């Protein structure tokens, strides 16, 4: 079973809980928090989830915050993370197919819960195409 890291701030908490409940029968979920709707600093949770994916402790990561931008920017500071901001299933599909994204960020203030679930399902069910995209992905890292 694939392992998924979840992380969010207060704006993403309710969606994280919904996703956790929806995914638990098909994936092993590691929840990095936050654990309530009390205001928190998103980097604390995004870094923890990203580090777990970077170390191979989790296969993929899903981050959530109001715009999705803060958690995505934070995750992408990690050398071996490719976190895509996904607001529709087609973006999630291309992030996996063409960019070999290993994390995704959801903008919870701009998408409905059902759409969030569809985006996540598309992301997790899509394989990297490799081929011409492999060379491009290999050029992303700075070191």
Residue 8 annotated among the catalytic residues of the structure = no
Element (H, E) at 106: strand 103-107
Q: Annotated catalytic residue: which of 65, 78, 83, 86? A: 65
Q: Annotated catalytic residue: which of 8, 47, 78, 98? A: 98
Q: Are 39 and 63 in contact (CB under 8 A)?
A: no
Residue 86 annotated among the catalytic residues of the structure = no
Distances from the Cα of 111 to the Cα of 17, 38, 39, 107, 108, angstroms: 15, 21, 20, 7, 6
Active site residues: 65, 98
């Amino acid at each position: 079973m694939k392992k998924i890291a979840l992380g969010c701030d207060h704006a993403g908490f309710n969606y994280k809980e919904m996703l956790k409940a929806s995914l638990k029968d098909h994936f092993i979920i590691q929840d990095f928090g936050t654990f309530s709707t009390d205001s928190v600093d998103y980097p604390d949770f995004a870094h923890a989830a990203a580090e777990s994916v970077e170390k191979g402790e989790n296969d993929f990561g899903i981050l959530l915050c109001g715009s999705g931008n803060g958690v995505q920017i934070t995750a992408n500071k990690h050398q071996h993370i490719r976190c895509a901001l996904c607001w529709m299933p087609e973006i999630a599909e291309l992030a996996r197919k063409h960019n070999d994204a290993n994390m995704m960020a959801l903008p919870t203030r701009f998408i409905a819960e059902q759409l969030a679930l569809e985006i996540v399902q598309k992301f997790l069910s899509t394989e990297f195409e490799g081929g011409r995209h492999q060379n491009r992905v290999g050029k992303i890292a700075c070191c």
